[in-house]
Amino acid sequence: MIEITEHGAVREIRLARPPVNALNLELIRRLDAAIADAARDAVGAIVLTGRPGVFSAGLDVAAIATLDAGGLGELVSSFFALQRRLAASPVPVVCAITGHCPAGGTVIALYCDRRMMAAGAFGIGLNEVQVGLFPGLRIFRVYARLIGEARAADLLGRGAMVAPDEARAIGLVDEVLPAAQVLPRALAFAAELAALPPLAYRRTRTLVRQPLVDLLDLPEQIDLQTWITAETRACMARVLKPATSGG
């Protein structure tokens, strides 16, 4: 589910859960552990990447549809723990977005230090409302931190996805490149970060990322008793139907 490749001072962490790197509980926990391991091993920087054509399709809708309240609580708490791990990581994380990046995939990217995305017919954004899910206050604020509150309110409210060039224009991603250049560029940028004077860089990065870390302390509005509703299950069933029926 996670593949690790060392590139000198840079550690590449690749999501590897075919076909679309959907985030189930095991993948979330393994990614959390991989970020923690990189900090423990004092690597210079991390590049987080996915499969060709898809970074991550977000939370595993098929798995969510089968979970009881206890399972949902475990999934949500683990996903929030991963977000906190990324936000507070002492190791910079560069996100190489290799293709489609909806919902939970975008959430992960939001917490990274820099985002490079593949050009092409791909989408990125927080489309939770499209499957009947409520994203919550923290994710809204983290989204707004990058693209501004008015634009975040508009896109989040509609569950809208945007193409790579628009994502670059609004500040959701930092660079858009041909697909074959995304990982090499991310690795090169990560190596630049790893080569900075470590004490000064670490202190400055902590300073500029503290407002992001503080957002994780906002009171959450997600109530697991009402997070998955009949409407949510109906929306998820429509999403899953083509995959299960072959239509």
Burial 202-233 (b: 16+ CB within 10 A, else e): eeebeeebeebeebbeeeeebeeeebbeeebe
Is 128 catalytic? The answer is yes
Q: Which of 26, 74, 128, 166 is catalytic?
A: 128
Long-range contacts of 229-238 (CB under 8 A, 24+ apart): 229/132, 231/132, 232/131, 232/132, 232/133, 233/65, 233/132, 234/132, 235/130, 235/131, 235/132, 236/61, 236/64, 236/65, 236/131, 236/132, 237/65
201, 68 in Cβ contact below 8 A?
Answer: no
Task: Please give the structure tokens belonging to residue 179.
Answer: 């697909």
Sign of the Cα torsion 173, 176, 182, 188 reads negative
In three-state secondary structure terms, 218 is: coil
Please identify which residue in the block is written with the tokens 């959430």: 107
In three-state secondary structure terms, 3 is: strand
> Catalytic residue positions?
128
